[in-house]
Amino acid sequence: MMAEQKQIEFENLPSHLLECILYYIPLIEIVKLCAICPILYTTGNFVIRKRFFELRSEIYKELKILEGEIDALPKSEEFFENRIVLLRCYYFLEMLLSELSLIRAVWRRVLYNKSLSVVAIGKLLHEFYSAFYVTKRRGLPPWHINDEIEGKVIKYAKLFFECKLDEVQYDEMFGCQILDVLDSMINRQFRINVKYYPQNNFCSIDAVYKLRDPHYLNRTPKLNENELTQEERRKILTYFVNLVRINNRVALREEQYHREVEISRSREINIMALEIDFILHGSSSWLTKDVRKYVSVFSDPLREERKVNEIFEFEETYRSSEFSHSTSMEKKFICCIQINCPLNQAPLSIMDCWSRFKNDLLSQIYAKPQFGFLEESINVSDTSRKTDNIDILGDIGMQCTVEVVVSSNNNYEIDRLMFNEPLTVGSSD
């Protein structure tokens, strides 16, 4: 006689087993499961949120791998066919990362707050993963302007921004969201100076972002002279998102278009002519240019450490290699922004830099034999202490000046947007 089998309800499984099961289910199916019961809803949210951050990390890794594969190929015409396959994948990953970074900036409060639902992003994330796996297998079809795979990703991302920009809470994160959006701009030039006051859980940021000769540049939104309203904040953030998103898309597509034109041309001309052309013009070839490099955390910081009135101050400065203070009249976008804010509510790039700085400080301590016993007991990650910081930083707030130089009929006109706003210190969720 067969032993009676005991059936276990799916939703009654231990949470860690349920998470493991859902992790291997397509994201689009997880979205459907979230509607069944509270347990599946909670677990589904956990998995979707985890998969979002994992995808961003995986894209950075894959870009690094692709960069190595491209660099390993000789820059001669006989390897152009191999290069174009890898360059298509690189282009597509750049586009995915651009969209993901903007989603992370706009939806920051939801993504980083585990009590809020991320089910709305499940279907979009499913499409992103599907495209990523095709890229990872180097299985992208020949590129053309109306590419179906790319079109689906862009369509879902566009719908997300159209919907979520109206739902975002424009509160104490507003100024930091602007910097998060600008950090997603691929061809930006920047200079960022940040001072950390860990004893007071605060940082002071002074940043300048530039985009020279942008493909898309609209006039800045008009504001009332009084305190910013929620609608005005929405207009400002929408302006920045559209500026970054459209310029990223056009710049990436233009680069890939030139590569595809060049590979088509190389197939049409004879080898000898191609050899001569490569010798004469190889340095400007779109197929042999170095790809854009990506880092998850700003690199090569200039650092200073000081102590003022018993308060430790750590300063870092980051600068892109092309950054300059040129004042020439040309079509361009410039944003100067200063923010004083809690460390645990700082722009995401600044929080990443501070996390690395803390690890470097700890490493210096651990490297000294007399302090080796402290390795398990020291914790410098706690930046939640509330102390009186007004004397150090002044009022908590943001100042922003945007200068747009637009051209019309060979004439240049400067359009400016300026606003100041106090920031309300919220919870540290």
Cβ within 8 Å of residue 18, ≥6 positions away: 10, 11, 39, 40, 43
CA dihedral (57, 106, 26, 138) positive or negative? negative
pLDDT band at residue 31, thresholds of 50, 70 and 90? very high
pLDDT band at residue 6, thresholds of 50, 70 and 90? low
Q: What percent of the chain has pLDDT over 90?
A: 46
Q: Is residue 186 part of a domain?
A: yes
Backbone angles phi, psi at 153, to 5 degrees: -60, -45
Look at residue 265 and tell me whether its pLDDT is greater than 50: yes
pLDDT band at residue 330, thresholds of 50, 70 and 90? confident
pLDDT of 148:
82
Strands 311-319, 411-422: parallel, antiparallel or unpaired by DSSP?
unpaired
Cα 96 → chain centroid: 10
Same domain, 190 and 141: no
What residue numbers bound the domain in which 220 lies? 170-369+385-423
Summarised one tens digit per residue, pLDDT across range 360-400 is 888 887 777 755 555 554 444 443 334 344 344 445 688 88
Same domain, 131 and 270: no
Summarised one tens digit per residue, pLDDT across range 39-77 is 889 999 999 999 999 999 999 999 999 999 999 998 888
The type of residue at 291 is V
> Contact at 8 Å (CB) between 215 and 333?
no
Same domain, 105 and 192: no
Domain edge (last residue) among 168, 188, 207: 168
Same domain, 200 and 139: no
pLDDT of 1:
41
Look at residue 252 and tell me whether its pLDDT is greater than 90: yes
Q: Is residue 140 part of a domain?
A: yes
| Token couple for 51 | 């998969």
Q: Is residue 250 part of a domain?
A: yes
Cβ within 8 Å of residue 368, ≥6 positions away: none
Same domain, 307 and 346: yes
How many folded domains does the chain comprise?
2
Same domain, 250 and 399: yes
Q: Is residue 124 part of a domain?
A: yes
Mean pLDDT of 21-29: 91
pLDDT of 244:
97
Look at residue 9 and tell me whether its pLDDT is greater than 80: no
Same domain, 82 and 219: no
| The CA-based dihedral angle spanning residues 246, 251, 55, 348, taken in that order and rounded to the nearest 10 degrees | -70
Same domain, 355 and 286: yes
> Contact at 8 Å (CB) between 47 and 15?
no
pLDDT of 425:
54
Domain edge (last residue) among 129, 151, 168: 168
Pick the more confident residue, 243 or 165: 243
Q: What is the reported pTM?
A: 0.85
Look at residue 426 and tell me whether its pLDDT is greater than 80: no
Mean pLDDT of 6-17: 70
pLDDT of 112:
92
Same domain, 246 and 140: no
Same domain, 223 and 342: yes
pLDDT of 242:
95
Q: Is residue 4 part of a domain?
A: no
Domain edge (last residue) among 120, 144, 168: 168
Summarised one tens digit per residue, pLDDT across range 157-195 is 999 999 988 887 776 678 899 999 999 999 999 999 999
Same domain, 144 and 109: yes
| Token couple for 13 | 């499984």
CA dihedral (150, 153, 159, 163) positive or negative? negative
Summarised one tens digit per residue, pLDDT across range 285-326 is 889 999 999 998 998 899 999 888 888 899 999 999 888 766
Look at residue 94 and tell me whether its pLDDT is greater than 90: yes
pLDDT of 388:
40
